[in-house]
Amino acid sequence: MISVTKTFLPPKEEYFKIIRQIWGSNQIANGGELLFDLQRKLKDKLGTSDPILTANGTIPLQIALKNLARNGEVITTPFSYVASTSSIVWENCSPVFVDIHPDLLTIDETKIETAITEKTTAILATHVFGNPCHVEEIEKIAKRNNLKVIYDAAHCFGVNYKGNSLFNYGDVSTCSFHATKIFHTGEGGAMFCKDEELYKKLFYSHNFGHKGELEFYGLGINGKMSELQAGMGLAVLPYVKGLIQTRKQQVKLYDETLNFKNLRRIVIREDTDWNYSYYPIIFKSEDKLLKVQKALNDKKIFPRRYFYPSLNTLDYIEFKEMKISQDISERILCLPLYAELQDQEIDLISKIINKVLSTS
């Protein structure tokens, strides 16, 4: 079976060696040495502020919205994983959708300003498949309208834009360290924030509001990463550069073997050092996508329809048509991409796709 992705697991001896420290310290949570070590190494590797490490990748979105969106309207994209929209609703805010670029697939910054009302408090935009939003223009819009900017950068580990980590943009940038990501902690995530005062609020928010054992800074929840998770991150981190390079070669092979007469790829924004986290292809129609998907499934190959359906169609959202997002979501399919995927498997996938499209 070939799935859309497969978790990279480091040699178990290396993981066991790292987490053996836990038996020595008897500290498995609440900010142990492994967590602090991972925090330092991520800061150095990425060139960012100290990351606030969390139990999963959704908690950072919820905490950022709680602190910045203030129960207001949040302008966001309908083309993303459901967590971006569900977090807005969960935090008693109202999502206001803006359609996407047909080629870049990120939020169309030219449509943001017309969606702003007196109730708007924030913009939550997704760097789709690690493809940067137009961060400069979004920053200008936010400053003109006194809005906060939160980036869902779940796919962006290792992505640089104009030589700078994508995590350094926005008031808060969030990332997922889920097992399906290039860098992972099994389950986990992070928040990045350059402003010192806001950083304090975010940090206390993920630790019940604790300021020491007996004082409290304010309202908080339990969003902390455990030592076991941090240990996995420390074991995976040395392999990330090689994993990205492997994916780059796999993407190149897909590019060479697929027939793009009936397909197209996502356009990556200029000045982006991409991480090759996904390989999405866009078909001319949903019917062609479904035929290809069935042919691949019949061979026990399982791509995935990221991101379907368009989030403006969720049953707990008041529907407003988003023509481009709805159209793209029906025609986009992510092909298998992971460290152990073999060249002959990519060749087989491409041949099946090319054959189906040439006869349909």
Any idea what the CATH number is for the domain that residue 133 is in? 3.40.640.10
pLDDT band per the 50, 70, 90 thresholds, residue 170: very high
Q: Assess whether pLDDT exceeds 90 at residue 240.
A: yes
Q: How many domains does the chain have?
A: 2
List pLDDT tens digits, range 126-158: 999 999 999 999 999 999 999 999 999 999 999
Q: What confidence score (pLDDT) does residue 108 get?
A: 98
Whether 318 and 215 share a structural domain = no
Can you list the positions of beta strands (E) in the chain?
A: 2-3, 52-54, 73-76, 94-97, 120-126, 148-152, 160-161, 164-165, 172-176, 189-192, 210-211, 215-216, 263-265, 272-273, 280-283, 301-302, 332-334
Burial class (CB in 10 A: 0-12, 13-18, 19+), 163: exposed
CA dihedral 335, 336, 339, 342 (to 10 degrees): -110
Backbone φ/ψ region at 120: left (φ over 0), alpha (ψ -120 to 50), beta: beta
Whether 246 and 106 share a structural domain = no
Whether 89 and 131 share a structural domain = yes
> What mean pLDDT do residues 262-269 have?
97
Whether 177 and 97 share a structural domain = yes
SS3 state at 104 = coil
Last residue of a domain, one of 215, 238, 261: 238
What pairs with residue 100 in β-bridges? 107
* 3's tokens: 């799935």
Q: What confidence score (pLDDT) does residue 213 get?
A: 77
Q: What confidence score (pLDDT) does residue 248 get?
A: 98
Distance CA 349, CA 347 (A): 6
Q: Assess whether pLDDT exceeds 90 at residue 218.
A: no
Q: Residue 26 carries which DSSP code? A: -
Whether 219 and 98 share a structural domain = yes
Q: What confidence score (pLDDT) does residue 211 get?
A: 78
Q: Assess whether pLDDT exceeds 90 at residue 113.
A: yes
Q: What confidence score (pLDDT) does residue 340 get?
A: 96
pLDDT band per the 50, 70, 90 thresholds, residue 214: confident
Q: Assess whether pLDDT exceeds 80 at residue 360.
A: no
Whether 108 and 247 share a structural domain = no
> What mean pLDDT do residues 37-56 have?
97
pLDDT band per the 50, 70, 90 thresholds, residue 323: very high
Whether 228 and 258 share a structural domain = no
Range of the structural domain that residue 122 is part of: 2-238
pTM of the model: 0.96
Distance CA 153, CA 166 (A): 8
Give the closest residue to 231 by CA, choosing from 24, 37, 23: 37
Give the closest residue to 47 by CA, choosing from 167, 169, 185: 167
Whether 91 and 189 share a structural domain = yes
CATH number where 271 lies: 3.90.1150.10
Q: What confidence score (pLDDT) does residue 119 get?
A: 98
pLDDT band per the 50, 70, 90 thresholds, residue 212: confident
Q: What confidence score (pLDDT) does residue 56 get?
A: 98
Q: What confidence score (pLDDT) does residue 140 get?
A: 98
> What mean pLDDT do residues 320-343 have?
98
Residue type, 119: K
- Average model confidence (pLDDT) across the chain: 97
What backbone torsions phi and psi does residue 10 show, to the nearest 5 degrees? -70, 165
